[in-house]
Chain A
Amino acid sequence: MEKHFLEGKMEGKPEFRAEPWYNPYGDCIEYQVADEAFVAERIDELLTIYRSAIDNRPVGFQIKGVQAIIRRFGWDGLVVASEAGAGQVRSISIVALLLAAYEEGPKTLGRRRAYAAVMESPPKQHTIPADELVPA
């Protein structure tokens, strides 16, 4: 098998996880359901949909400007609380973030369709712990 050009520079075994995660270097939430090449379809300043490069189906999305959304809407409208072990964990709802992002832009048909498409197939893990949302 051909060696990947970054093999000597990476540590650990490559692993694909179909879970949303916060990218602290880009202040964005990334979510990809399939481990395959995709093309980014920019919907607006805050949402980008990932479409499979093989068959064009939606395979993920990116929510940008997470800190700006939190500043604009506050934690109260975005956070869900859940019990975990002995304490309570504050997590941010991805669907609430998407709704907030939608409210930021013009109410066009194209945007409405794109946001609806993303929300029709939300990730199984639909929250991210608030303490992970720290930009680098």
Chain B
Amino acid sequence: MLEHPQRIFYGVREHNEGGWCYTARPAEWYVKENVVAAFPRNMVFAVYLNPNMRVYLCRAEYAAKDDPMCPMDWQNRYRGLVWKSTS
């Protein structure tokens, strides 16, 4: 995820300056222990880093309608989209 992100957003919290969100869509994920399933088409996986570049959260989120590699409402949640994969 962090090595091959599809999108990178800057500014993830209103009350904390900075922070980053990396997103991508894995082909599969664990839904329970030892149970692997296809990653849902309407979701995107997000990894959050704090301003010290420490990962503090990773989770699935509903994908935006206008760009399935972005979390829903990304235009209002983050300060900006700073990187977009072209591959």
List A residues at the B interface (Cβ < 8 Å): 1-2, 23, 25-28, 35-42, 45, 50, 53-54, 62, 64-65, 67-68, 136
B32 touches A (CB below 8 Å): yes
Given known contacts A25-B50, A26-B48, A65-B13, is B33 in contact with A42 (CB within 8 Å)? no
B15 touches A25 (CB 8 A): no
A40 and B11 CA atoms in complex are apart in Å by 18
Pick the contact of A1: B16, B30, B34, B57 (CB < 8 A): B34
Please give, as numbers and ranges, the residues of chain A lying within 8 Å of B29 by CB-CB distance: 37
B60 touches A23 (CB 8 A): no
List B residues at the A interface (Cβ < 8 Å): 13-16, 29-34, 40, 43, 46, 48, 50, 52, 54-57, 59-62, 71-73, 77
Rounded to whole Å, the gap between the CB of A33 and the closest CB of chain B is 14
**Closest 6 pairs (CB-CB, A-B):** A26-B56, A25-B56, A68-B15, A65-B15, A37-B31, A39-B60
- Could you list 28 A-B pairs, sorted by A, with CB under 8 Å? A1-B34, A2-B34, A23-B57, A25-B50, A25-B52, A26-B50, A26-B57, A27-B16, A28-B56, A35-B33, A37-B29, A37-B31, A37-B32, A38-B59, A39-B59, A39-B61, A40-B59, A40-B60, A42-B72, A42-B73, A42-B77, A45-B13, A54-B32, A65-B13, A65-B14, A65-B15, A68-B15, A136-B54
